[in-house]
Amino acid sequence: MFRRLSNRGFTPRHLLRLVLTLSFALTAPACGAGGALEDLAGDLFGSRDDGKAALEITTTSVPAGKPGVAYDPTQLTTVGAEGPVIWTIAGGTLPPGLRLTADGRVTGVPSEPGFYEFTALASDGAAADEQSYAIAVDVFGATVTDGLYCGDAWSGRPVTLRTAGAAGAVRFEVAVGDGRFAQIDTAAGTANYVPGMVMAGGTTDRLRVTDTGTGEVLEIDVTVVPNPTENHVARFGSTDVWYLDWDAKHGRHPFASDYQAALAYLGLRGANSTDVRGTEADRLVDLIVRVRTLRALNKMYLREADGTDGARGLAISFPLVQPGAGYYAPGPGGYMGRRENGYSVMALCDQSGSLGAQGVAYQDDAGNGRHEHNASGAVGEMGVFINYVAGTVDRAYRLYRDELKENPVSDEDIPALKDLLYDRAGTGARYDMLRYQADALARSIAFVAGHEIGHSIGLPHLFAYTSGAIMNGHLLIGPGADYFFVEESLAILRRSLGTAGTGTAAMKVAALSAPDGGVHVCGHCNHQR
């Protein structure tokens, strides 16, 4: 697996220490399987590990209709498909008399006047995308078709309003609230509303839409909440940038990635969610775990949890969404070296070739196919990935474990999940259960990511075991662990990443306590605590 790195000052013994191993064999996961998170889900599911663009719907609107008059057949289109695309209705209702064909045509003769909203789902078997539409049949109507997450508008993220059936130009106004309209297209009847700042619990803004041809006025109430992803962005020019590829096995697994299978294994994805994108509740959990993973990673690297620099933060950033055109990343197995607008990609939950390891830093010329990096302080040409982690979480975090597996996440959990996403106080056993298990998975992923990223930018394992230290060769993963870099590791990181801040790690580790216990992870023994 490894080739000697004598030209980098490493010996085979050093190379073996770059592997974080488990003391037990991971079992295979049990596979189980509305347009609430369309835009962000499109971003999060927007790449494949082969570098190709994922399936994306390109048709954004459809024409209005008249009762008893044949509808102008409209073809919905996509880009990025790797096979035949099948179209279905994912939510809402088409006007009576109209239908969506499997090849993506809206056709028929509408029979009833009204304003109808529906969500179309396009799938090529490996990837999927959704888009919401509105059809007015002999009426004037308005709706929010893009930009809502779980029915809410996030401060700072545009919300698209779309009208249909207007007799004249359309005028948009903010009747109540401190947001603003931009990119207004009166001919198309569209406008982007950008919500302003809100209180933590959320506020309601009222948007007014007027058909100037008839004088008819419509009002839409939009709930505005804080944007929980606002600062999880790539900070090019001032930090190393590391993107965790959550979909590393995209297209080769029923859930598109081992990460989705891990969610299902832990009860954090609905048992009957057969679509790769999942239900609204599934996608909420997905986003919650991703955000909390990045929060934990930032804290490990002494940054603020939301991704901002902080007084002591190291010069590294972890974007939630993979940077797009204009930025450079190595492909699987590729190493580019440090370059302007370059970023590192770390494969997450890739089981192949694991040898029982939870995380591995591979040398590039060992012929591995994992994602690799452009880190400024790289030791050799290291590619790193995180292995399937649900087995570790299942053993270490025992509180609520069986209850959630027996009754996995469902749409009934949406209120509690929204409280978790927006950091609002929640009540009830399901809220506590979901928070506990989501944090368990997020903290475990973040720990392994922090460890393997550390290897790639210059850190060896610690010579002496220090309880809770991120660069230990073997670790104790569990609810009581508080992961941190010791001073000798921080000194190397500051040299490798620059001098963004100064300070010391929070060198404290809480003792593991009953009833949860923990898992002792090492390479030479086989026991649990």
Q: What average pLDDT score do residues 280-292 get?
A: 94
CATH 2.60.40.10 intervals, the chain: 38-225
Residue 269 near residue 33, CB atoms below 8 Å: yes
* SS3 state at 520: strand
- Candidates 3.40.50.9100, 1.10.260.40, 2.120.10.10, 2.60.40.10; correct CATH number of 38-225? 2.60.40.10
Task: Name residue 219's beta-bridge partners.
Answer: 208
Q: In this prediction, what percent of the chain has a pLDDT beyond 70?
A: 77
Residue 185, Cβ density class (10 Å: 0-12 exposed, 13-18 middle, ≥19 buried)? exposed
pTM of the model: 0.80
Give residue-wise pLDDT tens across range 101-155: 999 999 999 999 999 999 899 988 777 888 888 899 999 999 887 888 888 999 9
Give residue-wise pLDDT tens across range 327-345: 888 877 777 777 778 898 8
Residue 311 near residue 225, CB atoms below 8 Å: no
pLDDT of residue 72: 87
pLDDT of residue 372: 80
Residue 147 near residue 159, CB atoms below 8 Å: yes
pLDDT of residue 51: 47
Give the lowest-confidence range in 248-252, 384-388, 423-427.
248-252
Q: Which of residues 495 and 366 earns the better pLDDT score?
A: 495
Tell me the C-alpha distance between 210 and 316, whole Å: 48
Give residue-wise pLDDT tens across range 233-274: 999 888 889 999 887 765 555 666 678 888 988 999 986 555
Residue 354 near residue 21, CB atoms below 8 Å: no
Give residue-wise pLDDT tens across range 177-226: 888 999 999 888 899 999 987 776 788 899 999 999 999 999 999 999 99
Q: In this prediction, what percent of the chain has a pLDDT beyond 90?
A: 40
Query: Which value, in Å, is the radius of gyration of the alpha carbons in the chain?
Result: 25
Tell me the C-alpha distance between 1 and 367, whole Å: 9
Tell me the C-alpha distance between 201 and 423, whole Å: 9
> If you search the block for the tokens 């919905």, which residue do you land on?
76
Query: Over 60: is that where the pLDDT of 15 sits?
Result: no
pLDDT of residue 390: 83
First to last CA, the chain: 31
**Type and span of the H or E element at 448:** helix 429-456
pLDDT of residue 268: 94
Per the structure block, which two tokens stand in for 256?
A: 């598109």
Query: Over 60: is that where the pLDDT of 512 sits?
Result: no
